[in-house]
């Protein structure tokens, strides 16, 4: 693959940061959150470092916006013009990139520019994070259809939450998208417990292969 995995989700607040940080730590990759919207309670980059990513592997955000909102609105409220050139992938590998919210979240209002449009420019494989609970089939299938319609490579998906065997089986069966496993909710959520859960519940060998640069 490209040496890069883009972690996106079927919705916001479903555990993308935990998944991205857990993978970056386990695979000794760099972590990058290009757009951080909402800084009052900390940032996803700080969370990644707390969750085990080496501090020198946490790259600075291209944009840090205070308002906890869609990037387009947060930028408008702060009179920030998001420059596409600032969102180019950093020249470091291996690299785990965490998107903001879901695939269709707007980065800019005019001209329209969505997270999925940015992913299409990067051409890096996307790892989709989905809940296990009710509603995930619809959200996941729609997200996968959107990625396929734009020709964006899909590395696979990771589920987050309590076991739901049928949801975790039917989505890969209907789409052909690989299931790399399920990360349970962790209490406490810290670097030690996350590292153990990633080793126990996720297909790290498969994820490592998906992250390896093309030869």
| Residue positions annotated with a catalytic role | 33
Could you give the 3-state DSSP secondary structure of residue 155?
A: strand
3-state secondary structure 67-131: CCCCHHHHHHHCCCCCCHHHHCCCCCCCEEEEEEEECCCEEECCCCEEHHHHHHHHCCCEEEEEE
Pair of tokens at residue 23:
């993978």
- The Cα 129–Cα 140 span in angstroms is 9
Give me the phi and psi of 193, to 5 degrees please. -70, -35
């Amino acid at each position: 693959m490209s040496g890069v995995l883009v972690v996106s989700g079927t919705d916001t607040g479903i555990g993308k940061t935990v998944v991205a940080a857990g993978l970056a730590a386990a695979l000794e990759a760099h972590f990058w959150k290009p757009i951080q919207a909402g800084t009052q309670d900390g940032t996803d980059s700080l969370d990644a470092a707390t969750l085990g990513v080496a501090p020198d592997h946490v790259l600075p955000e291209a944009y840090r916006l205070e308002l906890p909102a869609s990037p387009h609105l947060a930028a408008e409220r702060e009179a920030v013009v998001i420059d596409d050139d600032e969102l180019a992938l950093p020249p470091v590998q291996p690299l785990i990139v965490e998107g903001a919210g879901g695939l269709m979240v707007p980065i800019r209002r005019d001209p329209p520019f969505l997270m999925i449009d940015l992913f299409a420019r990067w051409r890096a494989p996307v790892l989709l994070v989905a809940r296990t609970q009710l509603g995930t089939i619809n959200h996941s299938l729609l997200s996968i259809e959107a990625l396929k319609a734009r020709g964006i490579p899909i590395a696979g998906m990771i589920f987050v939450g309590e076991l739901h065997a049928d949801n975790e089986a039917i989505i890969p069966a209907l789409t052909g998208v690989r299931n790399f496993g399920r990360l349970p909710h962790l209490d406490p959520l810290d670097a030690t417990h996350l590292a153990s859960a990633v080793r126990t519940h996720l297909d790290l060998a498969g994820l490592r292969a998906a992250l390896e640069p093309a030869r």
